[in-house]
Amino acid sequence: MKFFVDTADVSEIRSLAGMGLLDGVTTNPSLIAKSGRRMSEVIAEICDIVPGPVSAEVTATDLEGMLKEGRYLRGIAPNVAVKVPLTEAGLSACRALAAEGTMVNVTLCFSAVQAILAGKAGATFVSPFVGRLDDIGQEGMQLIRDIVQIYRHYPSIRTEVLVASIRNPVHLLESAKLGAHVATLPPAVLKQLFKHPLTDRGLEAFLADWAKTGQSIL
């Protein structure tokens, strides 16, 4: 499973990339706004740090505007994946940009039939939002289960399932068990994956025993 981090915080990205954990990055207008910087500058810097796909989202809602913005964004770096919403205009933009060789991430997917449309439009990635479905009393992981199952029936669909709106490590674990291709995690959730109380206790015991010997490795 590929790990993307969902942030526009360059320092966080650099730290996680240094550990060899990142296969890509996802951003959105809210995350870019939080950075307080110009989108083009942030995306260019991230693309220099992470060689994998870096999603940069259009803000236009009409087809012409999406195409104009999408072509500009892909010109920032060769590893930019243009992010478009799962709307009629977004799918039309996806089709056109994909035909031009652009990676496209179709976002804000909340149903399996929407994911079928994204696959038909030639999306590189489709981003189903599990946490937001959980928030309204639906089972977000059922959506991942359905999309993965449907895509497996049709080898001609090359679209990868990019699980988004991950709120906790359980979301990641279940996504991996279902065979989703990618998970994009906020930095805080990604760092939770390191944690286990038995790891901490074991390390404390080893260090305590070593201290009793009075030795030093160096």
Residue 88 is assigned to a structural domain of this protein: yes
The string over 37-56, giving b where at least 16 C-beta atoms fall within 10 Å of a residue's C-beta and e elsewhere, is eebeebbebbbeebebbbbb
Residue 218 is assigned to a structural domain of this protein: no
Q: What is the pLDDT of residues 17-41, one digit of tens each?
A: 999 999 999 999 999 999 999 999 9
Interior angle at CA 3, CA 103 and CA 196, nearest 5 = 170
Residue 5 C-beta-side C-alpha neighbours within 13 Å: 25
Classify the C-alpha dihedral 108-109-111-113 as positive or negative. Answer: positive
Domain around 38: 2-213
Mean local confidence (pLDDT), 199-216:
95
Q: Of 34, 68, 83, 177, which one is the catalytic site residue?
A: 83
Q: What is the pLDDT of residues 88-114, one digit of tens each?
A: 999 999 999 999 999 999 999 999 999
The CATH number for 10's domain is: 3.20.20.70
Would you place residue 66 in the very low, low, confident or very high pLDDT band (cuts 50, 70, 90)? very high
Q: What global pTM score does this model have?
A: 0.94
**Residue 83 known to be catalytic:** yes
Residue 191 is assigned to a structural domain of this protein: yes
Residue 130 is assigned to a structural domain of this protein: yes
Res 149: pLDDT: 98
Residue 182 is assigned to a structural domain of this protein: yes
Domain count, the chain: 1
Res 159: pLDDT: 98
